[in-house]
Amino acid sequence: MFLVQIIRMPNYNTSDSHPGTETTLKISKRLQAIDSLVTKSYQHIWDCCCDHGQLGMTLLQRGVAGQLHFVDIVPSIMMQLRRALKQQFPVQQQWRVHTLDVLDLPLDEVAPEQPQLIIIAGVGGEQTLSMVEHLLAKFCGHNLEFLLCPLRHQYKLRAALQKLPLALHNEILIKENKWYYEIIHLRKSSNVYPVASNPIHARGSLMWDNATELQHDYLQQTIGHYQRMLKNSQASITEHSAIQQTLSAYLELQQSLNS
């Protein structure tokens, strides 16, 4: 379904490269799947928590961003990235490097009506949630879209996202090596920018459509995880009931997929 893609990139190594020589950058199946959900161009795309910037570079290479913003909080990573970008993408108006906490994104430098895509991948679900909540509250008049690929706590994340002015645009499940990843594309739902939308379900929705072995296996693994949590839990009554509620939602889903 998702084949590992080899992208032709100009020189990746800064030390011994020669202008015009091409190096290959292999991106992971997970990053490739995130990239595949960007199906239109945006004037501004923010690759948040970008680390070495592989996803942003792939999007730049595809030409889907007027300006690609690379954001990470670690200065040494960003210095190295800036060097690599200067070499590989000489048109410097195409990209910007921000050594910043995602909570401090300057989204108000862009006109409110202009769509901005904010990608947050590779950090925990709780951290992802606090970033989305913060940005939505701070830039409530702006036309924001989010592409999220959280590590862990997906149910908790979606349950909280349901309460925000967001609508589901797309959602997929992938497996890379032995790990499963849920990727969620959300758009702001408001009267100003109406969008046709699917509701957000805490256990996910579109990613279970036309379920194959992949979905069934992931669901079984998820159910097993919550069953073990319930058994072993030293949790408070409130936490216990949240686990029970989560487990029930997945069991109900399993029943409907099997019927």
Binding site for ligand SAM (CB under 6 A): 31, 49-51, 71-74, 77, 101-102, 121-123
Contact status, residue 27 vs residue 51, Cβ threshold 8 Å: no
Nearer to ligand SAM, 101 or 108 (CB): 101
Output the residue with the shortest Cβ distance to ligand SAM. Answer: 122
CB of 234 to ligand SAM, least distance (A): 29
CB of 71 to ligand SAM, least distance (A): 6
CB of 149 to ligand SAM, least distance (A): 6
Nearer to ligand SAM, 58 or 215 (CB): 58
Residue 12 CB neighbours (<10 A): 15
SS3 94: helix
CB of 140 to ligand SAM, least distance (A): 20
Nearer to ligand SAM, 150 or 246 (CB): 150
CB of 244 to ligand SAM, least distance (A): 31
Residue 232 CB neighbours (<10 A): 8
Nearer to ligand SAM, 49 or 110 (CB): 49
Nearer to ligand SAM, 135 or 243 (CB): 135
CB of 74 to ligand SAM, least distance (A): 4
Nearer to ligand SAM, 98 or 201 (CB): 98
Question: Torsions phi, psi of 83, nearest 5?
Answer: -60, -45
Nearest to 73 by CA among 34, 105, 111, 100: 100
Cα–Cα distance measured from residue 137 to residue 69, given in angstroms and rounded to the nearest whole number = 21
Question: In sequence order, what E strands does 29-154 have?
Answer: 42-48, 65-72, 95-99, 116-124, 144-151
CA distances from 34 to 3, 106, 107, 131, 224 (A): 13, 23, 21, 18, 27
